């Protein structure tokens, strides 16, 4: 009986195969003879402008991953993400955005807490990333090769101090401490209080404070240190909301006005993200084209360093 059914199926396929082949050939010919559509330049420009200047991709991704978090089926985060998506669609002008029930489905689950015992710098960095990905922005600290590129040709003193934004676990600070003549030539700012506690133990001779980069100018003024001559920036601008990133750049401008060098790095895979381009355009419009290093391959992920100077 089974062999008879298989034979019948084979004969049926054989009978229809020429028809299917002919239809595919006919359709292909129709497509090939159709005139290609070319969109007007102004239409392409509008799409490009929307994507480059008003893209919501990173903000949407950041909110879903950093704020709401994992969205396992049946979990509270999944319900929250569904409701947020519905509300966003309504806000964007879509009509009849609603949630529809489905199922049945078994129990969901959610993570209430976790524990990680720190055994080295990489684990400490990963722990900070898991706690708040948006603030850390990477899953591994900068490599020695990238750190050395970040401090290349920098010679600080009391009147030209180094300002490090986003110290992290001290991957770059480890090399900075070898070029600062004394504790009055360096100021490090890190948002994560737990990381700051660890940093103060490891780099007790340097001034490292817990603070927000949006307030960096006033933090420096209160520190009593001399003029900032060098800014080493390790902040994850790609994942920082646009309004926060703009505030930080305005703070950096205040230092640049007095004559300063600003250096940051951008990962190769995110080099053409809208927020990365905005940073470069902001600096270029004020301080000229960046000095871009060759790609640092020995880093996870590979990165470039970008340097701007405003010499007075």
Q: Which of 113, 108, 147, 110 is nearest to 130 (CA)?
A: 113
Residue 101's contacts (CB-CB under 8 Å, 6 or more residues apart) are none
Average pLDDT score over residue span 284-297: 96
pLDDT attached to residue 137: 47
Q: 261 in a domain, yes or no? A: yes
Confidence band (pLDDT; 50, 70, 90) for 312? confident
pLDDT of residue 8: 44
> CATH number, domain at 153?
3.40.50.150
Whether 34 is covered by a domain: the verdict is no
Q: Is residue 144 part of a domain?
A: yes
Q: Is residue 84 part of a domain?
A: yes
83 and 153 fall within a common domain: no
Q: Same structural domain for residues 258 and 160?
A: yes
If asked whether residues 141 and 238 sit together in one domain, one would say yes
Residues 163, 276, single domain; the answer is: yes
Indicate whether 178 and 63 sit together in one domain: no
**Per-residue pLDDT, 30:** 46
Lowest-pLDDT range of 8-17, 134-143, 185-194, 206-215 = 8-17
Stretch 119-139: mean pLDDT = 50
Count Cβ atoms within 10 A of the Cβ of residue 177 and give its class: 0-12 exposed, 13-18 middle, 19 or more buried. middle
Do 150 and 297 belong together in one domain? yes
Which of 61-65, 95-99, 258-262 is modeled with the greatest confidence? 258-262
| Same domain? 76 vs 205 | no
Residues 56 and 154 in one domain: no
Checking if the pLDDT of 142 tops 60, the result is: yes
Say what the pLDDT of residue 1 is. Answer: 47
Q: What is the predicted pLDDT for the residue at 239?
A: 78
Judge if 150 and 83 occupy the same domain.
no
Tell whether 1 is covered by a domain.
no
Pick from 31, 66, 91: which residue ends a domain?
A: 91
Q: Worst-scoring range by mean pLDDT, 118-132, 222-236, 247-261?
A: 118-132
- In a shared domain, residues 60 and 194: no
Q: Residue 115's pLDDT is what?
A: 62
Query: Do the beta carbons of residue 231 and residue 255 sit within 8 Å?
Result: yes
Tens of pLDDT, residue by residue over 163-184, are: 999 998 899 999 999 999 999 9
The rounded percent of the chain whose pLDDT value lies above 90 is 50
Q: Is 79 inside a domain boundary?
A: yes
Q: Which domain holds residue 232?
A: 134-310
| Residue 124 binned pLDDT confidence (cut-offs 50, 70, 90) | low
Establish if 223 belongs to a structural domain: yes
Same domain, 171 and 278: yes
Q: What is the pLDDT of residue 117?
A: 53
Higher pLDDT, 124 or 42: 42
Are both 56 and 160 inside the same structural domain? Answer: no
pLDDT over 50 at 60, yes or no: yes
Q: Is 180 a domain residue?
A: yes
pLDDT single digits (tens) 182-237: 999 999 999 999 999 999 999 999 999 999 999 999 999 999 999 999 999 999 88
Q: How many domains does the chain have?
A: 2
Domain's final residue, options 29, 56, 91? 91
C-alpha 211: how far from chain center: 20
Which of 60, 91, 122 marks a domain boundary? 91
Mean of pLDDT over the chain: 82
């Amino acid at each position: 009986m089974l062999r008879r059914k298989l034979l019948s199926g084979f004969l049926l396929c054989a009978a229809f195969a020429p028809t299917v082949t002919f239809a595919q050939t006919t359709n292909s010919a129709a497509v090939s003879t159709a005139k290609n559509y070319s969109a007007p330049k102004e239409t392409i420009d509008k799409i490009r402008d929307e994507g480059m200047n008003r893209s919501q991709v990173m903000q949407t991704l950041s909110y879903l991953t950093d704020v709401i978090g994992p969205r396992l089926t049946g979990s509270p985060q999944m319900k929250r993400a569904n409701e947020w998506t519905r509300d966003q669609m309504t806000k964007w002008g879509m009509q009849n955005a609603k949630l529809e029930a489905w199922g049945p489905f078994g129990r969901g689950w959610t993570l209430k807490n976790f524990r990680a015992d720190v055994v080295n710098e990489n684990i400490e960095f990963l722990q900070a990333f898991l706690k708040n990905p948006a603030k850390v922005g990477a899953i591994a600290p900068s490599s020695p090769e990238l750190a050395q590129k970040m401090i290349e040709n920098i010679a600080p003193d009391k009147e030209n101090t180094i300002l490090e934004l986003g110290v992290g676990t001290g991957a770059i600070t480890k090399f900075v401490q070898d070029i600062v003549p004394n504790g009055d030539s360096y100021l490090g700012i890190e948002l994560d209080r737990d990381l700051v506690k660890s940093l103060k133990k490891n780099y007790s001779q340097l001034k490292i404070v817990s603070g927000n980069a949006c307030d960096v100018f006033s933090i420096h003024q209160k520190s009593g240190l001399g003029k900032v001559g060098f800014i080493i920036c390790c902040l994850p601008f790609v994942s920082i909301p646009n309004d926060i990133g703009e505030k930080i750049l305005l703070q950096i401008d205040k230092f640049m006005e007095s004559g300063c060098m600003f250096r940051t790095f951008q990962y190769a895979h995110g080099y053409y993200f809208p927020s990365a381009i905005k940073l470069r355009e902001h600096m270029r419009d004020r301080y000229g084209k960046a000095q871009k290093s060759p790609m640092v391959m020995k880093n996870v992920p590979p990165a470039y360093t970008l340097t701007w100077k405003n010499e007075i």
